[in-house]
Structure 1
Amino acid sequence: MIKVTFYFNEDFKIKGFELKGHADYDEIGYDIVCSAVTSNALAVINSLDSLQKVKFDKIVAKEGHIYCFVNKCDIDKSQLLLQHLRLALVEISKEYPINIKIFEK
């Protein structure tokens, strides 16, 4: 199961997210849930970097673990993309509830 955690600041704005684990929907190379979650997360990170030019406090992208925290000074301009990711992953979790679980902190 992929465990997704969205982290919020005191103003209820998303400041970062973390993905851990594997969907285990299908074998490696055929796992559409893993592919959808990973591609959405990496696309948002790349868009935050290339299009919005935000600064990051920390980024990790390795097998079974993606972690991204936006610098406090860029939280406001990152909200559209981070909310987009949250909505996309919520929709995926509705279709595949045993493969992805979403938490909010």
Structure 2
Amino acid sequence: MIKVKYFYNDDFQLKGFSVKGHAEYAEYGRDIVCAAVTTHAIATINSLDVLQKVEFESVEAEEGNISCIVKDDCIEKAQLLLQHFQLAIQEIKREYPKNIKILKK
């Protein structure tokens, strides 16, 4: 199961996310749930970096673990893309509820 965790600042604005695990929907290389979540996570991080030019406290991308935390002074610029990621994950979870768990921190 993929576990998605969202991180918020004191004003309840999204400041990042982490994605851990594997969906186990299908065999490696054919798992459309893993592919969808991974694609959205990496695309969001890349768009935050290249399009919005935000700075990160941390970014991690390795097998089974993707995360990013935006620096506090860049949170406003990051909201649209982080909210887009959140909506995309909610839709994937709606279609594949047994393969994704959403946590909030």
User: TM-score with structure 2 length normalisation?
Assistant: 0.98
What is the Cα deviation at residue 39 of structure 1? 0.1
Counterpart of 1:14 in structure 2 is 14
SS in 2 for 1:66: strand
Counterpart of 2:43 in structure 1 is 43
Counterpart of 1:98 in structure 2 is 98
Counterpart of 2:83 in structure 1 is 83
Q: Moved runs in structure 1, 4+ residues, more than 6 A?
A: none
- What CA distance in whole angstroms lies between the structure 2 residues aligned with 1:104 and 1:76? 19
What is the Cα deviation at residue 10 of structure 1? 1.1
- What CA distance in whole angstroms lies between the structure 2 residues aligned with 1:44 and 1:82? 7
Q: Percent identity?
A: 59
SS in 2 for 1:88: helix
Give the letter aligned to residue 103 of structure 1.
Answer: L
What is the Cα deviation at residue 29 of structure 1? 0.8
Q: Kindly tell me the number of residue pairs found equivalent between the two proteins.
A: 105
Counterpart of 2:59 in structure 1 is 59
- What CA distance in whole angstroms lies between the structure 1 residues aligned with 2:91 and 2:97? 10
What is the Cα deviation at residue 94 of structure 1? 0.7
User: Per-residue displacement from partner, 1:16-46 (whole Å, max 9, x unpaired)?
Assistant: 1000100000001100000000000000000
